Amino acid sequence: MTSPENAVSPPILIPFVEPLRTGGELEALREAVGRRRLSGDNLAARGAEAYLRGALGVAHALLTPSGTAALELAALLAELQPGDEVVMPSFTFSSTANAVVLRGATPVFVDVRADTLNIDADLIRPALTERTRAIMVVHYAGVPCDMDPIMALAKTHGLIVIEDAAQALHARYRGRPAGALGDMAAFSFHETKNIHCGEGGVFVCDQQTWGERAEIIREKGTNRAAFFRGEIDKYTWVDVGSSFLPSELNAAFLGAQLERSLEITRLRLDLWDEYQASLGGLQEAGVALTPQIPQDCAHNAHIYHLRLPSAERRTAVLQAMRREGVQGVSHYVPLHSAPAGRRYGRWVGEMTNTDRAGEGLLRLPLGSEMKTEAVAQVIDVVRRAVA
């Protein structure tokens, strides 16, 4: 008899994520090694930053070792202090809130919208106090938040808006790129993202003073970047800082992916559309919700998800998929109910949509290198498991 302990799981035939390879990475790495300048802020890094400035239409783009580091850089630039509050969705990754908590400030969580799972602009206003300094938005699944009302509210109350655009490279809102909609933004190039370098990120902003200060904070609080440009004759410690520079190797790998990133986004969108066309019926049948993309948004196919009516249903579907070698995953344990969220943050209002998504959301495998047969197999398994 097979006990649960010695039961052998079937092999994973279709993994949830396979980090992208474009084929150009090894050559880019070879060239970087040949140049023998492997610390941060070298040729490949500058190339990647120039690409990102152009693609996003922003004045400053500084590569960082992770999206998390880019968020921490943003929190430093926003000069968050102990006692300050930052309104953000509860339905996000820990890094969004950690950046605030590390400055001694308090994340104030609000619910997300039922359709996009992005922060509900109408719920921000009731969460504001005289201590609120900033709003952090998260473009979940690469679907941009409804930014115009959020920016209008921020302007009225003198608040900084930080976009957690970790998942949103090449997404657009009313024709404008995600990451260029608020005051500052952070993107992730973690291997689970559409475009990656294993671990990596970028901080972006338009404002000159923040751009200049970011360069210093990223270089351990020194004006070394200005020294290398020949603007000063020696460099020194001028500000607080950390080591927020990625190695040239990561930048070279990233550069090889960025140059094909629009094409990769299109490939992902085709697969996402295939899921939506084939699984849309589940929503009509009332057994699962499928993603909804507002008219104002052009998403980047970062995630295809289904929302099941309960945690039990999700576990059952995940297990049924897994038995046939298809790996799915859940997404997020809401921060307001996580141990650290309760310790460091507080929340305002009902969390109905956040809690429902945390219990029922299931992400399907998606990657630009996926074969159409694999997508068809996932669709077949999911249809049978959900019905």
Ligand X SMILES: Cc1ncc(COP(=O)(O)O)c(C=O)c1O
User: Where along the sequence are the contacts to ligand X (CB under 6 A)?
Assistant: 66-68, 92-93, 95-96, 138, 164, 166-167, 188, 190, 201
CA distance 186 to 205: 9
> Which lies closer to ligand X via its Cβ, residue 139 or residue 213?
139
Q: How far is the CB of 164 from ligand X (least distance, A)?
A: 5
> Which lies closer to ligand X via its Cβ, residue 96 or residue 300?
96
Q: How far is the CB of 332 from ligand X (least distance, A)?
A: 9
* b/e map 327-343, b = 16+ CB within 10 Å: bbebbbebbbebeebee
> Which lies closer to ligand X via its Cβ, residue 108 or residue 335?
335
Q: How far is the CB of 326 from ligand X (least distance, A)?
A: 22
State how far the alpha carbon of 377 is from the alpha carbons of 174, 278, 365, 383, in Å: 35, 11, 11, 10
> Which lies closer to ligand X via its Cβ, residue 191 or residue 369?
191
> Which lies closer to ligand X via its Cβ, residue 67 or residue 255?
67
Q: At what angle do helices 248-258 and 43-56 cross, to 10 degrees?
A: 40
> Which lies closer to ligand X via its Cβ, residue 203 or residue 275?
203
In the block, residue with structure tokens 């990223």: 218
Q: How far is the CB of 3 from ligand X (least distance, A)?
A: 36
How is residue 121 written in tokens?
A: 């602009």
**Whether the Cβ atoms of residue 179 and residue 165 lie closer than 8 Å to each other:** yes
> Which lies closer to ligand X via its Cβ, residue 167 or residue 222?
167
Q: How many CB atoms lie within 10 A of CB 284?
A: 8
> Which lies closer to ligand X via its Cβ, residue 166 or residue 181?
166
Q: At what angle do helices 248-258 and 25-35 cross, to 10 degrees?
A: 140
Measured at CB, which residue is nearest to ligand X?
A: 67
Using only C-alpha atoms, the chain has a radius of gyration, in whole angstroms, of 21
Q: For 316, phi and psi rounded to 5 degrees?
A: -65, -40
3-state SS, one letter per residue, for 280-294: HHHHHCCCCECCCCC
Rounded to 5 degrees, what angle do the CA atoms 137, 259, 208 make? 50
Q: Residue 112, Cα to own-chain centre: how many angstroms?
A: 16
Q: How far is the CB of 165 from ligand X (least distance, A)?
A: 8
Q: How many CB atoms lie within 10 A of CB 383?
A: 14
How is residue 140 written in tokens?
A: 């979940």
> Which lies closer to ligand X via its Cβ, residue 245 or residue 386?
245
Q: How far is the CB of 328 from ligand X (least distance, A)?
A: 17
Q: How far is the CB of 70 from ligand X (least distance, A)?
A: 8
| Residue 152 CB partners (closer than 8 Å, separation 6+) | none
Q: How far is the CB of 179 from ligand X (least distance, A)?
A: 12
Q: How far is the CB of 345 from ligand X (least distance, A)?
A: 15
Interstrand relation of 132-138 and 329-330 (parallel, antiparallel or unpaired): unpaired
* Terminal C-alpha separation, the chain: 30
